[in-house]
Amino acid sequence: MNAGSSSLKYQIVDPVTGEFVVKGLAERVGDSGGTITHEYRSEKTTHDVDMADHGVALEEMTKVMAETGLPIEDADVVVVGHRVVHGGRNFTGPEMITDYVLDEIKRLGTLAPLHNPAHALGIEAARRIFPDLPQVAVFDTGFFSTLPASAYTYAIDAKLAKEHAIRRYGFHGTSHEYVSARVAQFLERPVEGFKQIICHLGNGASISAIDGGRAVDTSMGMTPLEGLVMGTRGGDMDPAVVLHLNRVAGLGVDEIDTLLNKKSGILGLTGSGDFRDLMGRVDDGDETAQLAFDVYVHRLVKYIGAYAAALEGVDVITFTAGVGENNAAIREAVCRRLGWLGVTFDAAANSADDHDARIISAAGSPVTVCVVPTNEELAIARHAVAAIDA
């Protein structure tokens, strides 16, 4: 389960085969005019239902399952895994959800106000509706708990930082962990034996440096605002921009929060945060869109160079998530600037219409470049099953 403030994504997934049994999305939770989009046996159905809260959304989901031919009782669910964005300093791996763990997830809402409160609502609802099923929290920050202090420490007043838990945590960890392990499996190399850079490019985007399977740096910080240019977030910028927006432009803190989280990035530069729109406009010769594309690629190339230096070399660079898996133009623009690093690009492999794990660098390229689909739901399911088996 992945509960957002007004949505609930769910999947019932077989942790062994990786196949999903059902998947769906409840939208406009807590409002009128809600819908559940549900998929079972390759058939997609849409159901109009008002959902006052996440509890109602889950009840409606079970009704939809019964109506579409697989009552939840027959789905052999053994555990509910919940995506939780922020695990703070204490949760370094998946946790069986107890009252204490739930309280901590709520408390960490100060560090992830857009996410953790919604996850807590989803967890409370799932505990109520499935009282007999164990529930496990899988944290986006977990995989990055191995970052060295030199990578996670911000150079500000140390006492203040400690008191307020200000440091880099990193996000999308479930994806970076899954994809880095999948790369090793796909290339048939032991994960301990090589250095990787993973570019997770979705609506949110982050990049990680992984040495022998352990994360050593990542671009998202105390919150998911830092780092790469994203659909609606601008990533790195001088923190004084925030002060200037307040003192000179007269924006309040909440307005700046909304501006930076929801109205910046590709959306802020072009008016749309979706990369399909962006590419359409680039192809039409739109200069505004071209600049956004260039800013996006420049930031990504800069991070790859930085991480290659931090790792003291890189063996494999991988693209994943919506943009990374589907946008050949961005991959090409990035790879064409990495010849100096040892990337020999294979344009035909890059533009092949293939959706499985694949290599897009030429045979013999000193640095291998891959495209590997991510699957956060499967990774969460596997962690959840491992937690109850432990």
In the structure, how many helices (H) and strands (E) does the chain have?
15, 14
198-206, 207-215, 297-305, 311-319 -> range binding ligand ADP (CB under 6 A):
198-206
Rounded Cα distance, 75 and 354, in Å: 31
The annotation status of 142 as a binding-site residue, yes or no, is no
Which of 14, 53, 103, 140 is an active site residue?
Answer: 140
Q: Quick one: which of 295, 327, 143 has its CA closest to 217?
A: 143
Closer CB to ligand ADP, 50 or 286, in the complex: 286
Paired tokens of 12: 């019932």
The annotation status of 202 as a binding-site residue, yes or no, is yes
Residues whose CB falls within 8 Å of the CB of residue 80, separated by 6 or more in sequence, listed in order: 1, 126, 130, 133, 134, 135, 136, 384
Alpha-carbon dihedral sign for residues 161, 163, 166, 167? positive
Is 194 a binding residue for ligand ADP by CB under 6 A? The answer is no
Q: CB of 143: closest distance to ligand ADP in angstroms?
A: 17
Is 321 a binding residue for ligand ADP by CB under 6 A? The answer is yes
Paired tokens of 352: 């092949």
Closer CB to ligand ADP, 11 or 68, in the complex: 11
Site string for ligand ADP, 203-232 (x = CB under 6 A): xx--------------------------x-
Paired tokens of 295: 């800013």
Closer CB to ligand ADP, 87 or 322, in the complex: 322
Site string for ligand ADP, 128-147 (x = CB under 6 A): --------------------
Closer CB to ligand ADP, 59 or 274, in the complex: 274
The annotation status of 312 as a binding-site residue, yes or no, is no
The annotation status of 90 as a binding-site residue, yes or no, is no
Is 346 a binding residue for ligand ADP by CB under 6 A? The answer is no
Q: CB of 326: closest distance to ligand ADP in angstroms?
A: 3
Side-chain-facing half-sphere of 345: CA atoms under 13 Å: 17
- DSSP reduced 3-state for 10: strand
Is 153 a binding residue for ligand ADP by CB under 6 A? The answer is no
**Would you call 140 a catalytic residue per the annotation?**
yes
Residues whose CB falls within 8 Å of the CB of residue 126, separated by 6 or more in sequence, listed in order: 1, 58, 80, 82, 133, 135
The annotation status of 326 as a binding-site residue, yes or no, is yes
The annotation status of 101 as a binding-site residue, yes or no, is no
Is 40 a binding residue for ligand ADP by CB under 6 A? The answer is no
Is 276 a binding residue for ligand ADP by CB under 6 A? The answer is yes
Rounded Cα distance, 204 and 327, in Å: 15
The annotation status of 83 as a binding-site residue, yes or no, is yes
Please check whether residue 335 is in contact with residue 345, taking contact to mean a CB–CB distance below 8 angstroms. Answer: yes
Residue closest to ligand ADP (Cβ):
322
Rounded Cα distance, 326 and 320, in Å: 9
Is 202 a binding residue for ligand ADP by CB under 6 A? The answer is yes
Residues whose CB falls within 8 Å of the CB of residue 53, separated by 6 or more in sequence, listed in order: 29, 30, 121, 125
Binding residues for substrate: 83
Binding residues for ATP: 9, 200-204, 274-276, 322-326
Residues with a known catalytic role: 140
Interacting residue ranges for ligand ADP, rule: CB under 6 A = 202-204, 231, 274-276, 321-323, 326-327
